[in-house]
Amino acid sequence: MSGRVYLDHNASTQVHPEVVAAMLPYFGERFGNPSSVHGFGREAREGVEVAREQIAHFLRMSTDEVVFTSGGTESDNLAIKGVAAARGAGHIITSQIEHHAVLRTCQFLEGQGFAVTYLPVDGDGLVNPDDIRRALRPDTVLITVMHANSEVGTIQPVDAIGAIARERGIPFHVDGVQTFGKVPIDLDGFGIDLLSFSSHKVYGPKGVAGLYIRKGTKMVSVQHGGEHERRRRAGTENVPGIVGFGKAVAVRAREMEAEAVRLTALRNRFWDGISARVPDVRLNGHPTRRLPGTLNLCFRHVESESIVLGLDLKGVAVSAGSACTSGNVEPSYVLVAMGVPLDWAMGSVRATLGRENTDADIDYVLEVLPPLVERIRSLSPAAVS
């Protein structure tokens, strides 16, 4: 335990040292523009294409099915707007707990005349595939459902949803930003036509992500300019970022399986320890169908931000489920959609574990968190009277 414990890996991760090493030459002598014909350009191009192969190999797809973008948000925008614009009009099915990159893109399209169905989730955060079936319309042009939610980690039955989409010939987009490199993704088996996946959640650099586009998926580009990425995404490639992304994925291929087992055990030990030591605490998200390192807790009678601040002062980084802006606290829309009562939802705290976390980290948190909750509760009139 180095004095600081980072438990916010769903927000971002530390770049793997091997990734940093792989990127460095591309800030230096291999600085060329991959579109250039000369040697400098060819060196940069080679870096980009090696990364493309690393990622294609990992997801078992062909290299011409991946487009590099600037982040998960851009990948989601490109997928949804790209498919929608190719059709011009129609109906889109999504869920109420998608990332804002999906929700707000769908809302934008509503303003452009598209119809959107936002499906509810159950108490564990699961979308019911039967709801998808019931929501289908003759003019449905896209189904977009996330693989796992970043706040609670619940893993959706994308295989069942994909089967429905395939049966009806409707493109199926999956926001896989939180699952990519953490749990297996079977593009063919799940029936996925478009997959958003990002680098900085899996120990790669920020500012780079990918979109898988299954061959034959009808879509148009949303960013216009040069001929980059087979005319699907204009703009000079982020070469060092892409090289780092490829390396990060190669490392994931090596580490993912064992890490998932280790983090699941660590996360469960965290929950067992907290629930044994702290009264009035609940676990949000599916008990088992959940991201390996994700633990979302609600402490009744405390406000999340006071826990986040208290832990921060002890060197522990977690995130708050509710966000306060100018005295307006919005309880997490994900927890609200899951039906978590408001007095619990206000006290939600998310801890997300990653490759650097150790047993000693969890021991330390189990030592400092219970007295912190007790102290804050002792100040609260709600808990006392």
Partner 1 sequence: MNYSETLIDHFRNPRNAGMMRDPDGVGEDTFEGCGDLARFYLRVVDGRVADVRFQTYGCGPTIAASSAGTELASGRSVSDLLTLSERDVAAAVDGLPAERLHAAEVVAGALRAAARDYVARRNGGRGMEASRHV
Shortest separation between residue 282's beta carbon and partner 1, angstroms = 18
Tokens 């402490």 found at: 299
Residues whose CB falls within 8 Å of the CB of residue 15, separated by 6 or more in sequence, listed in order: 200, 203, 204, 205, 244, 248
Q: How far is the CB of 336 from partner 1 (least distance, A)?
A: 14
Beta carbons of 244 and 204 less than 8 angstroms apart: yes
Residue 39 interacts with partner 1 (CB under 8 A): yes or no:
no
Give the nearest distance from C-beta 367 to partner 1 in angstroms: 17
Binding to partner 1 (CB under 8 A): which residues in 289-308? 301-303, 305-306
Options 49-57, 158-166, 249-257, 371-379: segment touching partner 1 (CB under 8 A): 371-379
Rounded to 5°, angle at Cα 47 from 44 and 50? 150
288 binds partner 1 (CB under 8 A): no
How far, in Å, CA of 156 to CA of 270, rounded?
23
Reading the block at residue 352, the tokens are 């997300």
Nearer to partner 1, 119 or 278 (CB): 278
Residue 328 near partner 1 by CB under 8 A: yes
Alpha-carbon distance values, 308 to 30, 176, 192 (Å)? 42, 27, 37
Maximal CA-CA distance, the chain = 76
Shortest separation between residue 385's beta carbon and partner 1, angstroms = 8
311 interacts with partner 1 by CB under 8 A: no
Task: Please name the residues in contact with 357: beta carbons below 8 A apart, sequence gap of 6 or more.
Answer: 5, 6, 7, 263, 266, 293
**Contact flag: residue 207 with partner 1 (CB under 8 A):** no
Amino acid sitting at position 339: G
Instruction: Tell whether residue 345 is a contact of partner 1 (CB under 8 A).
Output: no
Q: Cβ neighbours of residue 189 under 8 Å, at least 6 residues apart?
A: 159
| 204 in contact with partner 1 (CB under 8 A) | no
Catalytic residue check, 298: no
Contact between 340 and 152 (Cβ < 8 Å): no
Is residue 367 at the binding interface for partner 1, with CB under 8 A as the rule? no
Q: Which of the following is catalytic: 89, 324, 379, 382?
A: 324
The verdict on 1 binding partner 1 (CB under 8 A) reads no
In the complex with partner 1, the residue whose CB is nearer, 124 or 305, is 305
* Binding test (CB under 8 A) with partner 1, winner from 176, 240, 310, 321: 310
Cβ proximity to partner 1, 171 vs 310, nearer residue? 310
Cα separation, 204 vs 306, whole angstroms:
31
Q: How far is the CB of 303 from partner 1 (least distance, A)?
A: 5
Residue 172: CB minimum distance to partner 1, A: 39
Distance CA 51, CA 42 (A): 14
Q: Rule CB under 8 A: is residue 329 a binding residue for partner 1?
A: yes
**Among residues 62, 313, 341, 356, which is the contact residue for partner 1, using CB under 8 A?**
313
18: how many CB neighbours lie within 10 A of its CB? 15
- How far is residue 197's CA from residue 374's CA, in Å, rounded to a whole number? 39
Q: Does 371 bind partner 1 (CB under 8 A)?
A: no
Binding part of the chain for partner 1, among 58-66, 138-146, 362-370, 376-384 by CB under 8 A, reads 376-384
Contacting positions for partner 1 (CB under 8 A): 301-303, 305-306, 309-310, 313, 324-329, 346, 376, 378-385
Active-site amino acid positions: 324
